[in-house]
Amino acid sequence: MGHFYITTAIDYANGEPHAGHAFEKIGADAIARYRRLRGDRVHFVIGMDEHGQSIPQEAARRGIEPAELVDELAGRFRAVWDSLGVSYDDFIRTTQPRHARAVTALVERVREAGDLYMGTYEGWYCVRCEAFRAEDELVDGRCPLHPDREIAWTEEDNWFFRLSRFRDPLLAHIEAHPDFIRPESRRNEIVRLLEGGLEDVSASRSRIPWGIPFPGTEDHTVYVWLDALTNYLSAIGFPDDAYREWWPADLHVIGKDITRFHCVIWPAMLLSAGIELPRSVWGHGFVSVEGGKISKSAGARLELEALVERHGPDAFRYFMLRETPWDGDRDFGSPARLLASFDERYNAELANDLGNLLNRVVAMVRKYREGRVPAGDDTELDEARRGALSGYHASMEALLLHRGAQAALDLVREANGFVDRSRPWDLARAERDEGAGQGALDASLGSLVRALAATAVMLTPFLPGKSRTLWEQLGGEEPVPSFDALEDRTAGLTGVAGGAVLFPRDDA
């Protein structure tokens, strides 16, 4: 048994959870669940970024204190992730004392390394990004990510981090560790950025009281990017030695718009502090409508609650991860097209392909074998099952989640075709009327149950609740077992149970 430490970007506490947040969380959750099914001991961390200039501004707009605002939003985010079955092990908040302690320790290590100095910054600052923007980054004089907000010219004395010192060490690390930044398109972007040279970056802010005090100063707070990134350490006990149980992180899952922070600034800070770098950073793409991210920052926004309620949380998870390449982007063109695509996937793949297969197989096992699951000899479907599992594992290990879901559905469709080709009802009639041996029918039914058992395990990362129901209807006990259980001839199943329709069709 191995161990696997996986994190997502922590969400900024200045708005409501949206489908863009959800895409990242359920994708990371699918990876965490897959690793557990492989037998790994997993530590999965999500959380909230609760400091920065925009927090007190939003709190003042609402007439409440910043602490009240972040407490309220943290509760809402957690409730949404719980409703979507996100199986996190820790929910880190940057306002927690354990986090402040870790940030202070990291800053002190970087200072001891000689990589902090006092300087003056002049430039454009986007409050929504909590980031400075170079002149050539602006579009029509505004932040490219927040064109609806004015950007402010800022001049202040700050502590600076000597990022420029780490260009060559970072390039060397990326070359020596090809999986450090994935997918390849993100790695290429970062390499080009590094080859163009690095400038030192601000590590503190003055006159921003809502934050962690910068060690050794009275009027500076730790810049929010440094504060937020340190959550990956604070969540596992840094600076105490206990953090080494999980560090280095096996995987940081982030959006492609924050790869610079995670693939340049964060590893540079760790190198300065003498801390091992994470093993891999995955920068996923975006789900968009009419060219705009489905997020609190974009005009093309669909309400998360309405999407989830349309066909239920599991179907929403499946749709998002099945429809959108985990290594690319997906633009639906219009809100209507997104909803139509959701309905099509739900009815065709979940209700028709998977749901009907389960109903047919359970009914036939009950009718022809009184509910008992036969072992039977191998059939062509068993070979297809083994091939599907092989392709599934390859896709999931490569973090190509959409292909993993496809492999599971390919098996479902192969099983449906096998029902039509093997015609168990004809085999049962021949067994009854002609005295034919029961081997052919046992082989047909046994291979169908094995295919559904494999499907239940394969789809658990995508459909955790419905996969459990599928497993129970096959006669299994909670929880859905690991992949090792599929080595058993009947996957430990002895008699089907049946139950309610797994995915009722929605023809509205």
Report pLDDT digits (tens) over 1-31. 799 999 999 999 988 899 999 999 999 999 9
**Does some domain include residue 409?**
yes
Summarize pLDDT for 452-499 with one digit per residue, the tens. Answer: 999 999 999 999 999 999 999 999 987 899 999 998 888 889 999 999
- The confidence score (pLDDT) of residue 130 equals 62
**Does some domain include residue 221?**
no
The span from the CA of 117 to the CA of 157, in Å, is 11
Q: Which residue from 385, 319, 383, 278 is spatially nearest to 9, judged by alpha carbons?
A: 278
Between 144 and 109, whose confidence is greater?
Answer: 109
The span from the CA of 169 to the CA of 175, in Å, is 10
Question: What is the pLDDT averaged over residues 28-47?
Answer: 98
Annotate 37-56 with b (16+ C-beta within 10 A) or e (fewer). bbebebbbbbbbbbbbbbbb
Q: Is 409 helix (H, G, I), strand (E, B) or coil?
A: helix
% pLDDT > 70, the chain:
95
Instruction: Look at residue 296 and tell me whether its pLDDT is greater than 60.
Output: no
CB 89 within 8 A of CB 16: no
- The confidence score (pLDDT) of residue 489 equals 86
CB 287 within 8 A of CB 371: no
Specify the CATH number for the domain of residue 400: 1.10.730.10
| Residue whose structure tokens are 């999407």 | 307
**Does some domain include residue 381?**
yes
Question: What is the pLDDT averaged over residues 159-171?
Answer: 98
User: How many other CB atoms are there within 10 angstroms of residue 229's CB atom?
Assistant: 23
Please give the mean pLDDT across all residues of the chain.
93
Sequence letter at residue 222: V
Largest CA distance in the chain: 93
Q: Which residue from 350, 471, 357 is spatially nearest to 419, judged by alpha carbons?
A: 357
**Does some domain include residue 410?**
yes
Q: Is the whole model's pTM more than 0.85, yes or no?
A: yes
SS3 string of 314-373? HHHHHHHHHHCCCCCCEECCCHHHHHHHHHHHHHHHHHHHHHHHHHHHHHHHHHHHCCEC
| Alpha carbon of residue 302 to chain centroid | 19
- The confidence score (pLDDT) of residue 299 equals 36
The span from the CA of 171 to the CA of 165, in Å, is 12
- Residues comprising the chain, all counted: 508
Between 409 and 1, whose confidence is greater?
Answer: 409
Instruction: Look at residue 290 and tell me whether its pLDDT is greater than 70.
Output: yes
Number of domain units in the chain: 1
Summarize pLDDT for 176-235 with one digit per residue, the tens. Answer: 999 999 999 999 999 999 999 999 999 999 878 899 999 999 899 999 999 999 999 999
**Does some domain include residue 232?**
no
User: How many other CB atoms are there within 10 angstroms of residue 29's CB atom?
Assistant: 26
The span from the CA of 467 to the CA of 385, in Å, is 17
Summarize pLDDT for 88-134 with one digit per residue, the tens. Answer: 999 999 999 999 999 999 999 999 999 999 998 777 777 666 666 66
What are the residue numbers of the active site?
Answer: 18, 21, 126, 129, 143, 146, 293, 296
CB 304 within 8 A of CB 25: no
The span from the CA of 20 to the CA of 256, in Å, is 12
Instruction: Look at residue 245 and tell me whether its pLDDT is greater than 70.
Output: yes
Instruction: Look at residue 413 and tell me whether its pLDDT is greater than 80.
Output: yes
Beta-bridged to residue 438, according to DSSP, are none
Q: What's phi and psi for 297, nearest 5 deg?
A: -95, -10
Q: Is 18 helix (H, G, I), strand (E, B) or coil?
A: coil
Sequence letter at residue 157: D
Q: Is 90 helix (H, G, I), strand (E, B) or coil?
A: strand
- The confidence score (pLDDT) of residue 25 equals 98
**Does some domain include residue 401?**
yes
Question: What is the pLDDT averaged over residues 321-350?
Answer: 94
Give me the sign of the Cα torsion angle 51, 86, 462, 15: negative
Q: Domain limits at 454?
A: 334-487
Give me the sign of the Cα torsion angle 406, 411, 417, 419: negative
Q: In what order do the strands lie in the sheet containing 201-202? A: 131-133, 116-126, 152-161, 201-202
**Does some domain include residue 481?**
yes
Instruction: Look at residue 298 and tell me whether its pLDDT is greater than 50.
Output: no
What are the Cα distances from residue 377, in Å, to 254, 438, 441?
46, 11, 10
Question: What is the pLDDT averaged over residues 415-436?
Answer: 92
CB 37 within 8 A of CB 461: yes
CB 308 within 8 A of CB 83: yes
- The confidence score (pLDDT) of residue 129 equals 64
**Does some domain include residue 462?**
yes
Q: Is 217 helix (H, G, I), strand (E, B) or coil?
A: coil
